[in-house]
Structures are given as C-alpha cells and as structure tokens.
Amino acid sequence: MPDVLQIGPLQLQGRLLALLLACIIGFWLIRRQGRRILRSQGVNDPAKYPIDDIIFNGGIIVMLTWKLGVILTQPSLLWTQPAKLLMVSGSSMEMLLGLMLAIIYAFFQLRKHQIPLILLLDVLSCGITAAAFIYCALIPEYGQPTSLPWGIGIEGTSSRFHPHNGYFALLLAPLLIWQQLIQPRRSSLEQGKLLQTSLLYVGAAGMLASFFDDAIPTAVYLSWPQLLFLFMLVIGMLLPRLAHNTSRRELSQMSQNDSKEQIKQAQQNKERQNSSSTSGKEGFVDKKLDGPNRPST
C-alpha cells in the first residue's frame, strides 16, 4: 500500500488506512469468536455478556486518549488553535495512558457482567492476530540489506532490503488459520488455550522475523521488539493452567444463571395460566344448578 492515497481532492495516509482496515476486521472476528465460545459453553443468550462491546469501548478510549491527550500537555490549543487538534496526534505517553484507562474500564465491566478475564483474553488474542496479519501484509517495513530477488527497495535506488513485515505476516498465517478454521471444529474449548498458544506462537514468530529487522539493540543486546516477543514467550510458558478450570466454573455458573432465569420464567407463565383458568371458573354459571329451574332442596 502506498504511503499516501489520492482520492479526488482527499489525501489519505496509507498506514492509517491499513490500521483502520485491520481494526475493523479484527473487531469482526472478535465478535464472531466471542459468541461462538459462549455458545459452546452452554450460554443461551450471548448478548447478556457483551465481550465485544467491552473491547470496542476500550479501543475507543485508547484512540480518543491518544488523539486528544495533547490537551493535557498543551491546553492552550483549545482557545488558540482548536482546529489543530484534528491534525496532531499523541505520543507514546498518551497511548500508555489510554491503555491504562481502557484496562480500568474493562476491569469494572467484567465484574459488572461476571465475565471471566481469561475468556476476554482468549477472544482478544484472535482479533489482535488478525489485525496484525492484515497490517503487516499491507504495510512494508525495510529490514536488513539483502541481495535476494524478493527484497524491497526505495524507488530510484538499487538497494534492496528484507521485507520484515512480510515475513511476520507469513509466519502469522498458520496461527490465523488455526484460530479461525481448525480450533472452532473442536467440540469443547479449553479456556486459556487460545491465549497461551497465541502468545507462544506470536512470540516465537516475532523473534524469528526480528533477525531480519534493522532495529537498534538496547543495553541487553536485544531490540525493543525482541524484548516484547521474549516477554510474550515467557508469559505464554508461565500462564497458569488452572485458569481454564476457574473460567470453566465461572462459565458454568453463567449457563446455570441462564437456566434459572428460564425456569423462573416458565413458573411465572404457569402461574399466569392457572390464575386465568381459576378466574374463568369463578365466573362460570351452571344453568342446571342455578336459575328458576334449579332442583328443590
């Protein structure tokens, strides 16, 4: 995808457009995966547990905080150059602040709706994998120099570089196929399995692709992306296996709550039918026992 897309008088940044497309497809898969997992756990009405709404609102919080977080550092823009707020973007600090606010919001919403955290993370891992695959497939990143024929280069130059993002997208493809096509065919889903597998696979794939990246190493001889992928590997290996047992009990309680509500509703309907039949009998008049022709006693 080019850096700038020209559509009539409009100019759109290619990176932002690819990011928007990746977020849309990722959220659609989050919604689909969340409802499928809830149904597999016996929840009859998945709409009562709005996992996709929580994730969507959290994303909106992050975006607004990142976009309008400059107001905290430069409040004078509100009365001096308010139109500039539409053009400027926040820094990494605003992004971290938005993530913190989104985590706080998600924590209270999960407690309110009694949704297990591991379930939300399972669903979120599928959406993030799809979004990362689409973004890396559309946006090229120049890695280390290479003489291979599939190397990419800047127009007008003879230098070629490894397509770092393309390697990462190819490595993510098997995980995406497993998440969306293979795993749903299983009769039962082990809670936490999607998250653990995604962390281990993405961590290993990202570490492998990072060897072709031209990133600057830190004091520990690893670049920041490599440290992130290493952290994902460690978390995936240390992820408690008891998490799926706890979430299974919570989801069983969720399905039991649905069953109790259905039984209660059935009892209420039965009571209404009984009361209506009783009132009908009270107003019934038997002509053989009442009126002028009734037998004498």
Sketch the domain layout of the chain as residue ranges. Answer: 115-274
Percent of the chain with pLDDT over 90: 31
DSSP line for 129-171: HHHHHHHHHHS--EEEE--STT-B--TT----EEEHHHHHHHH
Amino acid occupying residue 43: V
For 15-31, the pLDDT digits (tens) are 888 888 999 999 999 99
Per-residue confidence band for 131, with pLDDT thresholds at 50, 70 and 90: very high
User: What whole-number distance in Å separates Cα of residue 73 and Cα of residue 132?
Assistant: 31
For 141-151, the pLDDT digits (tens) are 889 999 888 88
Torsion, CA 107, CA 108, CA 109, CA 114, rounded to 10: 90
pTM of the shown model = 0.76
* pLDDT score at 68: 79
* pLDDT score at 158: 81
The answer to whether residue 79 scores a pLDDT higher than 80 is no
Instruction: Give Rg (Cα) of the chain.
Output: 29
Percent of the chain with pLDDT over 70: 72
Q: Which residues pair with 145 in a beta bridge?
A: 161
For 42-67, the pLDDT digits (tens) are 777 777 888 989 999 999 999 888 88
